[in-house]
Amino acid sequence: MFNLFKTKEKSTISINDANWDEIINSNSGPVMVDIWAPWCGPCKLIGPIVEELAEEYKGKIIIGKLNADENTKSRQMGIRSIPTLLFFKDGKKVDQITCAQPMNIIREKFNKLI
């Protein structure tokens, strides 16, 4: 099982097609995935918010970032707009936010997840 809290110093992790199952499907704890792309303006706006919340919720929620341009998983999941934040618990998607949202909206989703 993937364990961010013992192996990483950063607050967010890089999620990709190769490690998706290990991080999402094999993890019983809460996971949030930020699906983004480097050219996406709203992604650049929400990125610092995700990073700040990742630090705040470190040890409670695994927070990862998946580059939609470099991975097919976002298309497989039916994502048509970025940024999209996907929330998982016990390997199942339980919630989603599409488009850049303020920190308090994302924080509410985190609090429901833990």
43 has catalytic annotation: yes
What is the model's pLDDT at position 1? Answer: 40
What is the model's pLDDT at position 9? Answer: 52
What is the model's pLDDT at position 3? Answer: 44
Please state the domain extents for the chain.
Answer: 9-113
Calculate the alpha carbon distances from 113 to 61, 65, 72 in Å: 8, 18, 26
pLDDT in 10s for each residue of the chain, 114 residues: 444 444 445 689 999 999 999 999 888 889 999 999 999 999 999 999 999 999 999 989 999 999 999 999 999 989 999 999 999 999 999 999 999 888 999 999 999 988
What is the model's pLDDT at position 39? Answer: 96
The third-level CATH classification (topology) of the domain covering 9-113 is Glutaredoxin (3.40.30)
Task: Of 85, 114, 110, give the one whose Cα is nearest residue 97.
Answer: 85
40 has catalytic annotation: yes
Pick the catalytic residue: 13, 32, 40, 50?
40
Pick the catalytic residue: 43, 49, 79, 82?
43
Strand partners, 87: 32, 95
Those residues with Cβ within 8 angstroms of residue 18's Cβ, 6 or more apart along the chain or in another chain: none
Report the predicted TM-score, pTM, of the whole model to 2 decimal places.
Answer: 0.86
User: How many residues would you count in the chain?
Assistant: 114
Q: Which runs of consecutive H residues, i.e. helices, occur in 1-114?
A: 4-7, 20, 41-56, 73-76, 103-113
- Backbone region of residue 91 per phi and psi (left: phi > 0; alpha: psi in -120 to 50; beta: other values): left
